[in-house]
Amino acid sequence: MRSGPKIAALATAVPEFRVTQKEAANYLLKHFPDELGRRGRLLLKRVFDHPSIETRHFAIEDAKSFFREDPDARIARFTERALELSCRALEAAMDGCGLSARELKGLVLNTCTGYICPGLSTYMIERLGLKRDIKAFDLVGAGCAGALPNIELAGMIVNDNPGGAVACVSVEICSATFEMRGEMGGEAGDDPSLIVSNALFSDGAAAAILWDRPHGMEVVSSSMRFAPELREAIRYVHRGGRLVNQLSMDLPRILREPVKASVLDTLAGVSLGVEDIDHWAIHAGGEKIIGAIMEAIGLPVGKTIAARKVLKEHGNMSSPTVWFVLDELLRQGFTAGEYCAMVSFGAGLSAHCALLLNRGMIF
């Protein structure tokens, strides 16, 4: 039986601008005194004081200019900084497995925090000197879950191009969707999802190389599970010409069944159980999210250490986050023959799982 595509290399990138949660809270209180009512201020303090996140990175030059940004400047910043982070991550990933840009047969890029046409993939082709006949795709609409559909498509391209390598890039400039005005221009305190979103999300990128050579992390099984009737629980909406995050406070409960179903579907495909999986790269969507996933699939606390470390140091970067967690697990050490499950969820509502088997890493 032909083996599945393998992750040959992985690299991550974050912007230089870094703030603590205390600094971020002070910025908001200073710049938005009129948008934050009494309830909003109390909620902001409680959420930003939570110890699960300590620092986050943002693709901005300084807070002062960021808070004056209009929609046109926002999409221009998204384009510039998303391209910069994507190229930095992909170049590091190619170096990690000894590939040159001209050797890539495919490029799959996913993002949900900014829309441009043509997509970012064409900018990367130009910036990095990729082949002009490369199979390039831009994926949108999956939100935080985007990295795993990316792997699915990239794997198909690998299978259709024996001996070739395909780049997976996940990049999000979540700060390009920042908003403090509630519905109809009301106070942010009237919309808890805005306060929570502004306390959780940050910017980052990740890139991985998939190929069909003997070594790497083989993708042995995967699955997707959709619950479209729950789409209002986690999505972007348009408001005043801007993308605004809509996040249900009941999301930790809502996502349990779709995530559990996706994980069990993936493991059933190779006749394994949860107890057979050595490592878990869980999307670090927030402390309550990690806890909900842990309980839904019956994981011990020790299997969520990597996800909690990424959350503490970076916050939720949306789709690249699960790659950051896998990278952290790789740093901690993998043994040949060990399994790792990547788990993510996002807009749709969708839940995704990919099972990896260490066939002997080269990075």
Q: What are the pLDDT digits (tens) for 236-273?
A: 888 877 788 888 889 999 999 999 999 999 999 899 99
What is the pLDDT, as a whole number, of residue 190?
A: 61
Kindly state the average pLDDT of the residues 174-182: 85
Query: How far apart are the C-alpha atoms of 7 and 164, rounded to whole Å?
Result: 13
pLDDT exceeds cutoff 80 at 19: yes
One domain for residues 205 and 223 = no
What is this structure's pTM?
A: 0.95
Range of the domain at 282: 217-358
Within its chain, how far is the Cα of 94 from the centroid? 20
DSSP secondary structure string for all residues of 288-357? HHHHHHHHHHT--GGGGHHHHHHHHHH-B-STTHHHHHHHHHHHH---TT-EEEEEEEETTTEEEEEEEE
Give all strands of the β-sheet with 203-211 in edge-to-edge order.
Answer: 135-139, 104-110, 165-173, 203-211, 6-13, 217-226, 350-358, 339-346, 279-282
One domain for residues 161 and 231 = no
Q: What are the pLDDT digits (tens) for 112-158?
A: 999 999 999 999 999 999 999 999 999 999 999 999 999 999 999 99
One domain for residues 128 and 103 = yes
One domain for residues 257 and 115 = no
- Choosing from 154, 183, 211, the residue where a domain stops is 211
Whole-number Cα distances in Å, 46 to 6, 96, 199:
43, 41, 10
One domain for residues 180 and 221 = no
One domain for residues 68 and 145 = yes
Kindly state the average pLDDT of the residues 194-215: 94
Residue 75 lies in a domain: yes
Find all residues with CB under 8 Å of 72, minimum gap 6, and list them: none
One domain for residues 74 and 123 = yes
Q: Which residues pair with 109 in a beta bridge?
A: 138, 169
Q: How many domains does the chain have?
A: 2
One domain for residues 290 and 161 = no
Task: Check which CATH number belongs to the domain holding 50 and give it.
Answer: 3.40.47.10
**Residue 184 banded pLDDT, cuts 50, 70, 90:** very low
One domain for residues 118 and 236 = no
- Choosing from 211, 241, 276, the residue where a domain stops is 211
